[in-house]
Amino acid sequence: MPAPASNPTSLPDPASLHLVEYPDPVLRQKAKPIGDVSPQWRAIAERMLDVMDDERGIGLAGPQVGLAWRIFVLDVPAVESGEDARSPKDTPPTATEGPMVFINPVLKLEGPVEPYEEGCLSLPDIRGDVLRPPVVTVTALDEHGKQFTLRAGGLLARCIQHETDHLDGVLIIDKMTQGSRMKNRKAIKELEG
């Protein structure tokens, strides 16, 4: 059962938010649920989308901008996924049709895990194979506090799982295959300083 949602007494100025890189401790914290989706949360989501775009990413979670709260943003273009966002009738979409905000996401995973190379804005120059199920159903609140459910496949499913991991303090280096961990060992040590 999820912890009761709450809101901080004060949130930072959205303009002050910037990308946080490993090994910043906020990346290892379990993020707290958000209570009321206030206009301030909408401003934070907008700023997160700006940071994601500036960094040329397709997803960004609250901890990646220093906020240990359960929020992430995505914009997975069809060209990134190599497929059309409007998949055939029974096939889940593999891309978004524009930016999306996910608050307090809850996931249901489907299918056996498959390897796929992932990177992370908070782990520059580190890429490796991560095992994840191919399909996910996510229920979350949008930037207006309205609940929605989305079933996704392909890169979109992977992105949703990756960003939700951030909300639980989990990074791709924790889930990489053994071979990918070995390949990235030196780069990880350099980031750790």
**Residue in 52, 71, 75 with CA at minimum distance from that of residue 142:** 71
**Which range among 17-26, 81-90, 102-111 shows the weakest confidence by mean pLDDT?**
81-90
Task: Delineate the domains of the chain, giving CATH numbers in brackets.
Answer: 14-192 (3.90.45.10)
Q: What is the average pLDDT value for the chain, to the nearest integer?
A: 92
- Say whether 163 is catalytic: yes
- CB distance 166 to 172 below 8 Å: no
DSSP H or E stretch at residue 180: helix 178-192
Measure the CA–CA gap between 144 and 22, rounded to whole angstroms: 31
pLDDT of residue 1: 40
pLDDT of residue 81: 47
pLDDT of residue 6: 59
Secondary structure of 58-99 in HEC code, one letter for each residue: CEEEHHHHCCCECEEEECCCHHHHCCCCCCCCCCCCCCCCCC
pLDDT of residue 7: 61
pLDDT 10s digits, 87-142: 456 789 999 999 999 999 999 999 999 999 999 999 999 999 999 999 999 999 99
Residue 82 has pLDDT above 70, yes or no: no
pLDDT of residue 93: 96
The active-site residue, picked from 46, 143, 163, 190, is: 163
What type of residue sits at position 180? S
**Inter-residue long-range contacts of 24-27, CB under 8 Å, 24+ positions, other chains counted:** 24/66, 24/122, 26/63, 26/66, 26/67, 26/68, 27/63, 27/64, 27/122, 27/166, 27/169, 27/171
pLDDT of residue 150: 98
